[in-house]
């Protein structure tokens, strides 16, 4: 029947289960909340799309191992700055945009899904029990399993802040300096953030290849500029050398680490951080037929599972777990989450009023990146080329490694019914 806002409220209620409540999962949930209430999705910038005419009741369940949203981009600073870290982890219960009677959180993990029966097995971290959960639509957004210190290993805000205190103490007390091993995106940002926060420390970044970010499909001009900027921050950069051994040595001033490089050089450090990328998809709960050789979900442009999977149209994957072109970034994850939420709404509408779904579909995403390197940033986009400077830092990251950029983009501080 018509609502007070002129919307037509449909009788059928849909259940949406989302595994993973980071950038992609939250964006999908927020898109569904907006559309189901007859509003344009908060991420929509397409003037051709009109507000929905129907209010479709939806119940959203988010399952995540953590008790809150963690700003992953900020890890290089969060793990060395307790005050900043406190801002980057927000309990789900404290996020106003998600305080809806139609949204619930389960701290735990999805251990299996049955696409044919549309049932998930969920292991609850609090009760330590396993249960079955039925759904109408499922979104896989659990991302990649990353090792410390690329990301914190904590599952609760309290554990996270304790982890930060231990990490910070190790860095601050490293009288013989800090060595970061691995010159990917995380290593470059980690080394420069430590140097920015603790300028009195000697910071060294060691990378086995002749250029930084060797694994990324980015132009040499960008990689060389990143190297130049890192040196300008005061970080010592050693390229083309592999660390062949790391040994703890007890000295009068305490324990130090002795690193032997491939060319025979020996470097001593008060603390060593490994930023060597070891990321594995968290897709063991998904049907193997939906995955590529690396364990990513082989999505269609609509974000749906491969058509060979049972009920493929009801199953979606977003973010780092999805096999799609482009470098893994939070911006891409939010974009995918928006599209998945929009497409699910289209399918729900089609089931209620016999309309034809009008999907939003992903286009090929070219390689692009932005790195926060101390007081400046370096970016690459295929149209704009390589850019760097304080203005790039301000526009891409602000003064908090893009925490407010992402928080405000998702409008997490706005009440869900505003």
Q: Give how far Cα 327 sits from Cα of 8, 320, 323, 369, Å.
A: 41, 9, 11, 7
Cis peptide before 386 (omega within 30 of 0): no
Cis peptide before 141 (omega within 30 of 0): no
Q: Round to whole Å and give the CA distance between 359 and 361.
A: 6
Q: Round to whole Å and give the CA distance between 120 and 156.
A: 24
CB 316, CB 138: distance < 8 Å: yes
Closest CA to 69 of 157, 193, 200: 157
Q: Round to whole Å and give the CA distance between 193 and 77.
A: 6
180 beta partners: 205, 273
Buried b (16+ CB within 10 A) or exposed e, 302-319: bbbbbeebebbbbbbbbb
Pair type for strands 178-181 and 203-207: parallel
Provide block-wise average pLDDT over 10 residues at a time, the chain (418 residues). 62 95 98 95 90 93 97 93 94 96 97 98 95 97 87 93 94 93 95 96 97 94 98 98 92 85 95 87 97 97 97 98 94 97 96 90 95 97 96 96 97 90
* pLDDT value of residue 5: 58
* pLDDT value of residue 278: 75
Residue 37, both tokens: 């209430």
């Amino acid at each position: 029947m018509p609502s007070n806002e002129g919307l037509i409220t449909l009788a059928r209620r849909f259940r949406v289960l989302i595994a993973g409540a980071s950038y992609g999962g939250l964006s999908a949930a927020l898109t569904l909340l907006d559309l189901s209430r007859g509003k344009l999705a908060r991420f929509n910038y397409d003037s051709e799309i009109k507000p929905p005419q129907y209010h479709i009741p939806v119940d959203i369940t988010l399952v995540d191992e953590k008790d809150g949203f963690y700003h992953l981009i900020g890890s290089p600073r969060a793990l060395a700055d307790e005050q900043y870290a406190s801002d980057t982890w927000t309990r789900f219960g404290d996020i106003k945009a998600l305080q809806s009677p139609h949204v619930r959180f389960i701290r735990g993990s999805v251990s299996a899904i049955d696409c044919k029966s549309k049932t998930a097995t969920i292991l609850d971290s609090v009760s330590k029990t396993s249960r079955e959960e039925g759904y109408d639509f499922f979104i896989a957004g659990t991302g990649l399993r990353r090792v410390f210190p690329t990301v914190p290993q904590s599952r609760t805000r309290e554990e996270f802040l304790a982890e930060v205190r231990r990490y910070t103490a190790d860095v601050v007390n490293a009288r013989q300096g800090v060595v970061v091993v691995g010159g990917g995106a995380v290593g470059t940002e980690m080394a420069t953030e430590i140097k920015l926060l603790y300028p009195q420390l000697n910071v060294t970044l060691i990378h086995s290849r002749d250029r930084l970010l060797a694994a990324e499909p980015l132009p040499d001009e960008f990689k060389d500029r990143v190297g130049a900027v890192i040196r300008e921050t005061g970080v010592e950069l050693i390229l083309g050398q592999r660390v062949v051994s790391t040994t703890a040595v007890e000295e009068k001033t305490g324990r130090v680490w002795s690193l032997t490089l491939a060319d025979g050089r020996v470097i001593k450090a008060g603390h060593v951080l490994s930023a060597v990328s070891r990321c594995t998809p968290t897709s063991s709960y998904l049907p193997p037929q939906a995955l590529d050789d690396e364990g990513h979900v082989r999505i269609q442009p609509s974000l749906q599972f491969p058509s060979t999977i049972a009920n493929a149209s009801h199953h979606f994957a977003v973010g780092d777990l999805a096999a799609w072109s482009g470098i893994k970034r939070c911006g891409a994850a939010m974009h995918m989450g928006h599209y998945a939420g929009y497409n699910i709404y289209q399918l729900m509408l089609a089931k209620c009023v016999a309309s034809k779904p009008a999907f939003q579909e992903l286009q090929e995403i070219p390689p692009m990146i932005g790195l926060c390197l101390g007081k400046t940033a370096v970016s690459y986009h295929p149209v704009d080329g390589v850019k760097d400077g304080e203005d790039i830092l301000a526009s891409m990251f602000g003064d908090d490694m893009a925490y407010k950029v992402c928080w405000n983009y998702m409008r997490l501080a706005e009440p869900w019914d505003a």
